[in-house]
Structure 1
C-alpha cells in the first residue's frame, strides 16, 4: 500500500481530511490555530498556570502567532473573499485574524480584571469565552459566506 493511500485511510478512519497541501493550509493550520487560541486564552486568563508548564519561556507570542496564522488562513480560503485579488485576500484575512485575536486578548484581560483570583475559575472563564468567541466568529463568517451567490 502506498504512503498516500495509507495516510488517507488513517485520516478517514479518524474522521479527518486527507493530507494534501490544500488541506494542510486551510484545514489543519486553522485547526492548529484553534488549539493555540484556546491555549492563549488560558495564558492570558491564568499566566501562572502556563508559567508552571513552561517555566523558562514565555510562549505568549508563539501562541499568538499560531493563532494569527490559523485564523488568517481560515479566512483567506472563505467564499466571500474568493473573487478578490490575492493582495486583497491577504490584507483582509490578516486584518480579520488580527482583529479577532487581539480583540479576544483585550476581552480576556477585562474578564480577568473582574473574575476573582481563582486558578480553576480563571481557566474555565478563559476556555469558555474562547470557545464561545470561536463559535460566534465561525457563525458570522458562515453567514457572510451564505450571502455570496454560489458559482454554477
Structure 2
C-alpha cells in the first residue's frame, strides 16, 4: 500500500490534489474557506443553532477569519492578478475577500430580518444564498480571468 502511484490514483479518484505547499495554499485553504463561509452563513442567519453546538464560545470571528484567508488565497492565485507585483496582488485579494465576506454578512442580516424566525427556513436561506454567492463570485472570477491574454 505504500506505492506512490496507488496514493495518487486514490487522491485523483476522490478529486483531491496531492499535498504540496501550492495545493495547500491555493486549493485546500480556499476549500476550507468555503466550509467556513457556509458555517458563517448559518451563524449569521441562525445564531441560536450555532450557540447550541458551541455554547461557551462565539465562533463568528474564527469563521470570518477562515473565510477571509480562504477567499484571499483564492483571489491571490487568479490569472488576472498574475502580472501584478506581490504587494498589489495582496492588496487586491484582501480587498476582494473583505468585500465579499462582509458584503455577504450584510446580505444575510437583511435576509434574516425579512425571513420568518423559523430555524429550518433561516438555515436553508443562509446556506442557499451562501452557495449562490460563491457560484456568482467564482463565475465572475472566471470571466475576468478569461479576458486576460493567455501567455504561450
Measure the CA separation in 1 of the matches of 2:88 and 2:15: 33
Size of the aligned set, in residue pairs, is 152
Partner of 1:22: 22
CA RMSD in angstroms comes to 1.3
* Cα distance, 1:3 vs structure 2: 8.0
What TM-score comes out, normalization by structure 1 length?
A: 0.96
Q: CA–CA distance in 2 between the matches of 1:3 and 1:114? A: 56
Tell me the residue number matched to 1:90.
90
* TM-score calculated relative to the size of structure 2: 0.96
**1:122 aligns to what?**
122
Q: In the alignment, which residue of structure 2 is the partner of 1:35?
A: 35
Q: Distance in 1 between matches of 2:103 and 2:77?
A: 22
The alpha carbon displacement at 1:131 in A equals 0.3
Q: Distance in 2 between matches of 1:50 and 1:102?
A: 19
Separation in structure 2 between the aligned mates of residue 85 and residue 56 of structure 1, nearest angstrom: 43
Q: Return 5+ residue gaps in structure 1 as ranges.
A: none
Runs of 4+ with >2 A deviation: 1-10
Measure how far apart 1:13 and its partner are. 2.4
TM-superposed CA distance for 1:6, in Å, is: 5.7
Query: 1:4 & 1:62 partners in 2: Cα distance?
Result: 36
Q: What SS does structure 1 have at the residue aligned with 2:96?
A: helix
Partner of 1:59: 59
The unaligned stretches of length 5 or more in structure 2 are: none
| Deviation, structure 1 residue 5 | 5.2
